Structure 1
Amino acid sequence: MFQSLTVRNFRLFAAGQIVSVGGTWMMVVAQDWLVLSLTGDSASALGVITALQFAPLLLFTLHAGGLADRRDKRRLLIGANLASCALAALLGVLVLAGAVRLWHVGLFALGLGLVNAVEVPARMSFVSELVGTDLLPNASALSAAYFNCARVLGPAVAGLLIGWCGTGTVMLLNAVSYLATVTGLWLMRPAELHRTAHRPRRARVTDGIRHVVARPDLLLPMALAAVIGMLGFNFQLTLPLLAKTVFHADAAAFGLLTTAMAAGSLGAAFATTLRRGRPPLRRVIGTAAAFGVLEFLAGLAPTYTTAGLMLFLTGFASVYFAQATNHRIQLGADPAYRGRVLALYTLVFQGTTPLGALLLGALSESLGARSGLLAGGAASLLAALAALVAHRVTGRRSPAGDAWHPPLDRPAGAPGRDRAAP
């Protein structure tokens, strides 16, 4: 289960990420609570802020994927984390000074979104450089595990800290947490990274798109991720609305509701650490359908306790689906295109969130907070059924088969391998 942790570079990366992602989830709760406090619980305002934070993923991620294929991913990640640190610190200072306005929050959300557009594809494709192809499923699952460990603790701690010392302090703590990732990246041994023989001088976005379109085994899970990412994974919008307007919860109770979902996500992450190969497409579709059903039931939950239980199960299904889709796509992509393929995956899975946030924000404003979860669950289930029909109609497989593994990684120190400066 923990085989990837025997790799020193991955241990450093994981340690830094646990601290940093914990701070990020504290920031998510603090930012959402600040927006609702500034606007009198406006669902539309929260939808706009969410859209601003994810819009850069929609606009720039594909170009950032080409950048990840051309440049040193480790250096890109150091720069991105330092930029995020500066942005979070500036917003925290404004809040503590009592000078923050809604447009400030929107501006900083947009700035963090721009940084994330570069950071996400670089980070996702960097995992394979840390451990190599054979350990990639295990390392990816462990990444999801520590992400969800932080997701369990971060919102709960943030809920308590907001009540004690306000949202500004939480934002400053998040700023400091980025330095843990920077330190881990700085201490790595570049010579031990698993890199391809060379980086392309030109990594055109269109080449990555053609690679996916020519591969039905990549295209169908990518399309499924697009629908579910846009309409099903808008919990940054739907959960605070459910907690505050339906169950009339305070910040601490909202943090616990988010933690319940994160705990289920953590269970799924550990369950997928045992995966050793590329998951079949039917498993991706089946987990998508299960997620849709559970999210719909969470929207119908009559009590706070029932909602927590259903969100626990929804969290399990959400991460199991995301991991299965990630492994299906990442283990099927040629490493020469991996940065661009994962950028496209990020675009369709996270970059479409602004569209869904605006739609579900308006829907929740007119029909109530529950409607966001109900619509997201129904859309996810319908997308899974459509994908199943398409899979049965085409009856096609990957040209190289499900067991295909790209053979382009070289061991550390191999001739002709690019080395990064420390």
Structure 2
Amino acid sequence: MTAPLPPRHPLHFPNFRAYLVGRFCATLAQYSMMILLAWQAYNVARETMSTGEAAAQLGLIGLAQFLPLFCLTPITGWVADHFDRRIITRLTLALLTLAAAALSFATYEGWVSLPLIFGIAVIVGIARAFNGPAYGALAPNLVPPAVLPNAIALSSVAWQAGDILGKALGGYAYAIEPWAAYALSAVLFAIGLISMMMIGPVPQPPREVGRHPVRQMIDGLTYVRTNRLVLATITLDLFAVLLAGATALLPVYARDILHVGSAGFGHLAMAPGIGAAITALWFSFRPMKSEVGMKMLGSVILFGLATIAFGCTAFLPRDIAVEAGIAALVVLGGADMVSVFVRQSLVQIHTPDAMRGRVSSLSQLTISASNELGEAESGFLAALVGPVAAVIGGGVGAIIITLIWARLFPELRLARSFDPPESGRADSIMEKAQ
């Protein structure tokens, strides 16, 4: 009797299906919350501040979310490698549900203020610091290695679909009723929590009991520093997106440059996600298999060019500026998704399971640094030189960084596929880390 063929697609695994639903709902709520915090902070600030001063508040919002993650990263990665990753995601989703509900109530009652918005931003940063490494390290435990690239692509589809709909729903709901936008986020976080509770037992890496926890936390940093391919992919994303922070200044463009209001802000905010989701959906059916390093480098250059194009919409006639801006942001999102897909696949496949929590926490730190810290950099730079110059200059900087990284890290240019390293090499790297 012929044995049944093993499942060949990630959706054949019930745990992964629950994970996918939970990630989609949580991402939907998270991006809605993040865009709402920036939009509401900018509007509250504009009641008493100039455009430049209000833009600086966007920088502070990004900083408020980044600093908790920066301070907690060594701890959160270690926690993800030593405790049940399902429980970590459940606890953080519960905290995010309460934070969104609190801001919804405060907005409904008219208590909202900049200090409250910043306080909630800090809570969001703390929750993301813990759930990011747990989410990232959990996915490879739910499917066999053979289908992991497809699982990463599907997870990216859920993430980008949440990005698209979250920002759009947040912008549109805020235009109708501000408190309802936060209430929607609270409901979606709760659905994500329920989905994560449906995931059954999964393999956990063995705990290290003979070494001090601080030494174990340092191991993650040592591993990333030793594996130059992982180091190159993580740091390229960090510096490129840190400089090219066009999306951080969307509130400024929507209100004071393109003059499109809340509804137009929703269109602009969801445009990068549309490009990213289309790209991720393509990869879920036709995963990238060759010349992955060169494709990542090319995608970051395209990301910089799209950023420059978006910045230049300020010089176009109003009747075509919005459409051109949306088109540039769609291309920007698609290019970013190529980079994200390559980075996530290389990091997950080239990292041993016992290290995935700590490496995922460092990867999340660089992503957050490029996003939230990038928001701070863009906001402060816009206050100094103006939003248009900040966006265009950031795109130019991303291209320059990519060319420098291509020369500094030949391992990235020479990466042909996602094939994991030979076991001997992996063991050697682990020994150096320890």
Question: TM-score normalized by structure 2?
Answer: 0.86
Q: 1:340 to 1:290 in 2, by over 3 A?
A: same
Q: 1:125 to 1:361 in 2, by over 3 A?
A: same
Taking the aligned partners of 1:355 and 1:9, their CA distance within structure 2 comes to: 34
Taking the aligned partners of 2:290 and 2:225, their CA distance within structure 1 comes to: 19
Kindly indicate whether the alpha-carbon contact (under 8 Å) linking 1:68 and 1:121 is maintained by their aligned counterparts in 2.
yes
Kindly indicate whether the alpha-carbon contact (under 8 Å) linking 2:279 and 2:334 is maintained by their aligned counterparts in 1.
yes
Taking the aligned partners of 1:122 and 1:278, their CA distance within structure 2 comes to: 29
Kindly indicate whether the alpha-carbon contact (under 8 Å) linking 1:63 and 1:205 is maintained by their aligned counterparts in 2.
yes
Kindly indicate whether the alpha-carbon contact (under 8 Å) linking 1:137 and 1:277 is maintained by their aligned counterparts in 2.
no
How do 1:25-40 residues align onto structure 2 when only pairs under 5 Å count? 25-40=31-46
Taking the aligned partners of 1:265 and 1:69, their CA distance within structure 2 comes to: 30
Partner of 2:196: 185
Indicate the SS of the match to 2:263.
helix
Partner of 1:357: 375
**What code does the residue aligned with 1:381 have?**
I
**Is 1:343–2:361 an aligned residue pair?**
yes
Taking the aligned partners of 1:73 and 1:180, their CA distance within structure 2 comes to: 18
Residue 200 (structure 1) shift = 2.7
Residue 341 (structure 1) shift = 1.0
**What code does the residue aligned with 1:404 have?**
P
Kindly indicate whether the alpha-carbon contact (under 8 Å) linking 1:10 and 1:131 is maintained by their aligned counterparts in 2.
yes
How do 1:10-159 residues align onto structure 2 when only pairs under 5 Å count? 10-40=16-46, 42-159=54-171
Partner of 2:4: none
Residue 407 (structure 1) shift = 7.3
Map Cα deviations across residues 243-272 of structure 1 (whole Å, 9 max, x no partner). 112101110111011122211011111122
Taking the aligned partners of 1:94 and 1:354, their CA distance within structure 2 comes to: 24
Taking the aligned partners of 1:179 and 1:107, their CA distance within structure 2 comes to: 21
Deviates more, 1:350-359 or 1:264-273: 350-359
**What code does the residue aligned with 2:175 have?**
G
Partner of 2:420: 404
Kindly indicate whether the alpha-carbon contact (under 8 Å) linking 1:246 and 1:369 is maintained by their aligned counterparts in 2.
no
Q: Determine which of 7, 11, 19 is the counterpart of 2:13.
A: 7
Indicate the SS of the match to 1:135.
helix
How do 1:108-257 residues align onto structure 2 when only pairs under 5 Å count? 108-165=120-177, 167-190=178-201, 193-196=202-205, 198-201=206-209, 204-233=216-245, 235=247, 237-257=248-268
**What code does the residue aligned with 2:88 have?**
L
Map Cα deviations across residues 6-30 of structure 1 (whole Å, 9 max, x no partner). 1101111112222232222322332
Q: 1:279 to 1:68 in 2, by over 3 A?
A: farther
- For these two proteins, the number of residue pairs brought into alignment is 399
Kindly indicate whether the alpha-carbon contact (under 8 Å) linking 1:131 and 1:139 is maintained by their aligned counterparts in 2.
yes
Residue 39 (structure 1) shift = 0.5
Residue 234 (structure 1) shift = 5.8
Q: 1:75 to 1:215 in 2, by over 3 A?
A: same
Kindly indicate whether the alpha-carbon contact (under 8 Å) linking 1:29 and 1:255 is maintained by their aligned counterparts in 2.
no
Q: Determine which of 388, 396, 404 is the counterpart of 1:370.
A: 388
Q: 1:268 to 1:62 in 2, by over 3 A?
A: farther
Partner of 1:315: 333
**What code does the residue aligned with 1:36 have?**
Y
Identity %: 23
Segments ≥4 residues shifted beyond 6 Å: 394-398
Q: 1:50 to 1:13 in 2, by over 3 A?
A: same
Cα-Cα RMSD: 2.3
**What code does the residue aligned with 1:374 have?**
I
Unpaired runs of at least 5, structure 2? 1-7, 425-434
Q: Determine which of 383, 403, 416 is the counterpart of 1:385.
A: 403
Unpaired runs of at least 5, structure 1? 409-422
Partner of 1:413: none
**What code does the residue aligned with 1:75 have?**
I
Taking the aligned partners of 1:162 and 1:395, their CA distance within structure 2 comes to: 43
Partner of 1:412: none
Residue 355 (structure 1) shift = 3.8
Question: TM-score normalized by structure 1?
Answer: 0.88
Partner of 1:411: none
**What code does the residue aligned with 1:102 have?**
L
**What code does the residue aligned with 2:171 have?**
G
Taking the aligned partners of 1:219 and 1:241, their CA distance within structure 2 comes to: 34
Kindly indicate whether the alpha-carbon contact (under 8 Å) linking 1:280 and 1:402 is maintained by their aligned counterparts in 2.
yes
More helix by share: 2
Taking the aligned partners of 2:78 and 2:412, their CA distance within structure 1 comes to: 32
Q: 1:30 to 1:354 in 2, by over 3 A?
A: closer
Q: 1:395 to 1:380 in 2, by over 3 A?
A: closer
Q: 1:168 to 1:220 in 2, by over 3 A?
A: same
Residue 84 (structure 1) shift = 0.8
